[in-house]
Structure 1
Amino acid sequence: MPESTAPSNTIPTYFTPAYLKAINIKLEKLSPEKILEWAMISLPGLIQTTAFGPTGLVILDMINRIHIDQQAAHPTPASSSASEQDDDDEDYPGPKKHVYNTRRHPVPLIFLDTMYHFPETLDLAQRVQEHYNIPLKVYKPEGCETTADFERLYGERLWETDDLSYDYLIKVEPARRAYEELGAQAVISGRRRSQKGDRARLDILELEAGTGLLKLNPLATWSYQQVWTYLRAHQVPFNALLDQGYRSIGDWHSTRPTTNLEDERSGRWEGKAKTECGLHVDYFKMRAEFQATQKKKQALAAAQKERELEEQAAALTIA
């Protein structure tokens, strides 16, 4: 499993705590659109990760509208128009095997396929690509193409038997692999303060401890109602489950409809003292815990194998 712990490119040294504090004071006064405009110009190696939740869709639509306006203001020369049809953009400065068409969409869009998404979520991912005519970079658990592949490696219902390893394998490791391969230095997140929990104290721009990854939360100050109003006003494609009582949508096995208007994420991980999937917690701590768990499992498996061999040997002796 890859051991990369931080983006391949280094965040500029001027992103000090004092500098971030000053930036956040200014960003607090801007609309989400203006925050994104600033980020698209100012933040190095900017990407967006999304599971196509309501906030992520609003951000995607805003980026698309900003891009259209910029293209109208600064038309692409006719000589380069043919490249619009290509999935890859040779001008993208990342690794050539993972180039991204920045002419079609300026911010690489990453979708983490956990293998346990609702069918409605997968359908939405396809509709979004068609609606915006954008490429989508899909990352899955390492070495897995299907749910059967994942369960063959790690067992069925891993979210029940080893929740930490599940989160690490389906979300954290694929995300870190995406950051490394795309040269990501800044990631756009759909988190909002109104989602409560650890998110209630969000800054608009954060520097992730240890990894040095910048995280941008352009809709941090928005309410769920503001998000929903935008979706409707701009006819943004959204998950059909939102019309069935779901307010925050993750994997099918850990997401339920909710009528709790005060806590939109109350339908996630019902009955568990859990509010995050692992993408926004201490990466190094989580990786260390995952590795320790794997070593323990390997030791238990080896001990079990040894006992079975001893029992087989004893049975032969008796025979």
Structure 2
Amino acid sequence: MPYVSRVTAYTHLTPHDLQPPGEPEVFFEPADTETGVWVATDLLPPGGGGTVLDLGSGSGAAAAAMARAGAARVHGIDSGEQTLRYAHTRYASSPGDGRVTFARGDFALMSAAQLLATAPGPLPRPLVVTSNPAYVPLPPDAGRARPSISGGADGLKWAGPIAGHARALGADLGLTLGSYSTPRRAVAVCTEAGYRIAAVTLCPLPLGDFTRRHPERVLALEEAGEAVLWRRGPDPLAYFIVGLACRRAEGGGRPAGAEELMDLLHSAARSTTTRLENLDAPGETPCPWPVRVLDLPRASARHHW
């Protein structure tokens, strides 16, 4: 294994961010949000600067945290009316500042130029495109019941448009998904768009209540070897949030990716504690990237709609 770092507390989200929104259509999953911010920090220039374009920006907590972490600008785009109202009220910068802004739009239906046009003014380079999209593989009927978490049959419904926008904008790419969201295919999507993995963040998390009640697709993907669940930890059934910080690939050759990530996830799944101690075990398959483990306190609430 390469150097494995561990974080044992929320670093980017504040107590203000960890308060449940109390709005029926505002997604709240602190571990996912914290992971996505770490991914962005892996891609931002050292010392700060640049812009994050956050697709599916949700509550806005991630956007505000990315600005605190050093981004010169963060612009979030989300399709939910209630979500945008909440993000504007709680997290948008004052008009005179403008570091954190939000706009309504369905990024899957927009061109890269249309995305940029939603921002109030030009976005400073370098540009990073990030997203923590809905990624749970659910059958169609279950997916319609929980749009905030449904990622289609393989969990990657949104990954193609996200990677395509990053490529069109000449941006680096941060993508957060689940270890049951066909991670091998997720890496292939990024590779096909011209990206290589630069760093990985892992955070163990129990399956949500709705996913536990509708596990058909998740279990089928696990049986097919396309998903990794964590069955040896303190929870009966859990998974890993997987944060992929991806750089634009330079030169030829095959970027390290799909099989290396699957080996990493299977190694993590042999652990028995939330520190994912097996990543330090001798004899494990070497991993080509730095790995960060988020061993976070259990959130007081999770809200999916």
Instruction: Please give the TM-score of this superposition, normalised by the length of structure 1.
Output: 0.26
Higher helix share: 1
Q: Which has the larger radius of gyration?
A: 1
Instruction: Please give the TM-score of this superposition, normalised by the length of structure 2.
Output: 0.27
